[in-house]
């Protein structure tokens, strides 16, 4: 079955440092979504990427979809303590509801 | 609009019992998906219902079943509970089949002893 791996599993940064998580799929994707889950919370939708090579920005967050539509990344510039949580990519192979979630990257930000 | 609601929020059951979890989607949303989240396996898709019909199913045994009512509310049932079923069960709603953004509920934390 489809596998979606994320690296790193965990990252601890000082506030103000940058952070990047990478998502890799074993198969070509129709699109990819990103979610954030705060500790004790539930996943919250961040964005969807559809086009090959697509780059989207949301304030300090930059999302990128690979040219081959098999990988994606999320980059946070100048992290803040509010960025703490686990970031998941979710792969869609053509059935929007049957998402395959990545393993997640847990981000810890300290002052 | 009120968000996705799930009841109960916490549940403790014994091995062999069965359990029913409930999910009320955002008003107007017709698609409800269920996910299981565990530390070991992460977030795994269980099934999706749209207009009272199961549209997709994940790789879970037949002990896991669900249904959706005409008001879009959904229930998930797990029979013959096993210790490994302990997890956070999340439901997510979408406006329709062409909508991609999923709105997750707070989840039901199930503990099987």
pLDDT in tens, A1-53: 678 999 999 999 999 999 999 999 988 988 999 999 999 999 999 999 999 99
CA distance B14 to chain A (A): 24
| Predicted local confidence at residue A92, as pLDDT | 80
Residue B88 confidence class, pLDDT cut points 50, 70, 90: very high
| Predicted local confidence at residue A1, as pLDDT | 65
pLDDT at residue A104 tops 70: yes
| Predicted local confidence at residue A97, as pLDDT | 62
Query: What are all long-range contacts of B11-14, with beta carbons under 8 Å and residues at least 24 apart?
Result: B11/B108, B11/B109, B11/B110, B11/B111, B12/B110, B12/B111, B12/B112, B12/B113, B13/B81, B13/B110, B13/B111, B13/B112, B13/B113, B14/B81, B14/B112, B14/B113
Whole-number average pLDDT of chain B: 94
For an interface test with A, the pick among B102, B106, B108 (most A C-beta atoms closer than 10 Å) comes out as B102
- A45: nearest CB among B55, B102, B106: B102
pLDDT at residue A110 tops 90: yes
Q: Which residue of A has its CA nearest to B109?
A: A40
């Amino acid at each position: 079955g489809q596998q979606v791996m994320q690296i790193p599993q965990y990252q601890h940064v000082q506030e103000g440092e940058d952070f990047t998580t990478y998502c890799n799929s074993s198969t070509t994707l129709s699109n990819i979504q990103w979610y954030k889950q705060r500790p004790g919370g539930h996943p919250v939708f961040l964005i969807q990427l559809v086009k090959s090579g697509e780059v989207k920005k949301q304030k300090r967050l930059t999302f990128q979809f690979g040219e081959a539509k098999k990988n994606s990344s999320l980059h946070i510039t100048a992290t803040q303590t509010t960025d703490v949580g686990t970031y998941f990519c979710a792969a869609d192979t053509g059935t929007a509801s049957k998402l395959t979630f990545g393993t997640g990257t847990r981000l810890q930000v300290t002052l | 609009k009120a968000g996705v609601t799930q009841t109960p929020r916490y549940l403790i059951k014994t091995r062999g019992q069965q359990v029913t979890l409930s999910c009320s989607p955002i008003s107007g949303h017709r698609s409800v998906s269920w996910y299981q989240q565990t530390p070991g396996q992460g977030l795994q898709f269980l099934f999706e219902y749209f207009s009272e019909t199961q549209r997709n199913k994940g790789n879970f045994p037949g002990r896991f079943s669900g249904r959706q009512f005409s008001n879009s509310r959904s229930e998930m049932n797990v029979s013959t509970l096993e210790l490994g079923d302990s997890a956070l069960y999340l439901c997510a709603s979408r406006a329709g089949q062409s909508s991609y953004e999923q709105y997750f509920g707070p989840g039901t934390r199930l503990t099987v002893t």
